[in-house]
Structure 1
Amino acid sequence: MRAVVQRVSEARVSVSGQVVGQIGAGLVILVCAMPDDTAETARALAAKIAKMRILADPDGKMNLSLLQTGGGALVVSQFTLAADTRRGNRPGFSAAAPPDLGRALYREFAAALRALGMPTETGRFGADMQVSLTNDGPITIWLDSDG
């Protein structure tokens, strides 16, 4: 799986003008499943992100994890993280998992965060979503699991 993690002071995702998920301080996590990913891959990536020490401590240093702060997670599916831009001007997305697998692993990833006790909101898989956020820092980190 691939993920882009952004530390935010607030974020929301809307579909057709209606807010379907929103958080205050925490992390926006854009995720993309790859064809060889499994439920274990999704759970392992969720655990890694939950423990990443990228949130500010009382001294303003990146020293706390989402698990420690109790902040929220807003999980948004984004198959475009699998973009292949090596040839031409139009990205290819064949490296992304097929939709049924992608949906299942997206749900597994969000469920794994919830199972860790994190308040977790989601977008809507496969929908045309509008994501609005205030990046805090800015802190943006890209992760790629080994499948």
Structure 2
Amino acid sequence: MRAVVQRVTSSSVSVDGEIIGKINEGVNVLIGISKDDTLEDLKYIKDKIINLRIFHDENDKMNLSLLDIQGEILAISQFTLYGDCRKGRRPNFMDAKGGNEAKELYDEFIKMIKTSNLKVETGEFGAHMKVEINNDGPVTILLDSKRNF
């Protein structure tokens, strides 16, 4: 599982011109699920996201987590995180999990992250979405459950 975590002052996602998810201070998370992912991968990414110390403390140091600040999460599925561009110019998405299997893992991830008692909003799995991200910093962190980076 891969995630692009962006610290935001606000973020929203819309489908067909209608906002379906919106948050204030917290993180926008773009989520990619690979064909090899299991529940352990989801748990690893969930724990990383809610515990990343990327918010400023009283000394202006990045020392606080989402849990510390009671921040919000906007989680959006994005299979293109598994686009392999090493050969040619057209991405290969062979490592991305597709269809119902990917949706089931995405839904399970959302259930897991909601147990953190933080506000969690989502996009619509498989839909063409427009995402507005007001990145704060900018702070952007890449996570990979296989620890490839």
Give the alignment's TM-score, normalised by structure 2.
0.95
Per-residue CA deviations over 1:85-122 (Å, capped at 9, x if unaligned) read 01111111111012212111111112111101111000
Query: Are positions 1:144 and 2:110 aligned together?
Result: no
SS at match of 2:138: strand
**Larger CA deviation: 53-62 vs 9-18:** 53-62
**Larger CA deviation: 72-81 vs 33-42:** 33-42
> What is aligned with 1:14?
14
> What is aligned with 2:105?
105
**CA-based RMSD:** 1.2
* Residue 55 of structure 1: how far off its partner (Å): 1.1
* Residue 58 of structure 1: how far off its partner (Å): 2.5
SS at match of 2:75: strand
**Larger CA deviation: 28-37 vs 41-50:** 41-50
Alignment of 1:73-112 (within 5 A): 73-112=73-112
Aligned residues: 147
Q: Structure 1: which 4+ aligned runs deviate by more than 2 Å?
A: none
**Larger CA deviation: 124-133 vs 37-46:** 37-46
Alignment of 1:30-109 (within 5 A): 30-109=30-109
* Residue 39 of structure 1: how far off its partner (Å): 2.0
Contact 1:27/1:73 (<8 A) preserved: yes
In structure 1, how many angstroms separate the alpha carbons of the residues matched to 2:39 and 2:143?
17
Contact 1:83/1:93 (<8 A) preserved: yes
In structure 1, how many angstroms separate the alpha carbons of the residues matched to 2:101 and 2:113?
19
Amino acid at match of 1:109: F
Amino acid at match of 2:68: Q
In structure 1, how many angstroms separate the alpha carbons of the residues matched to 2:10 and 2:73?
10
* Residue 60 of structure 1: how far off its partner (Å): 2.2
Contact 1:11/1:22 (<8 A) preserved: yes
Q: Percent identity?
A: 46
User: What are structure 2's unaligned runs of at least 5 residues?
Assistant: none
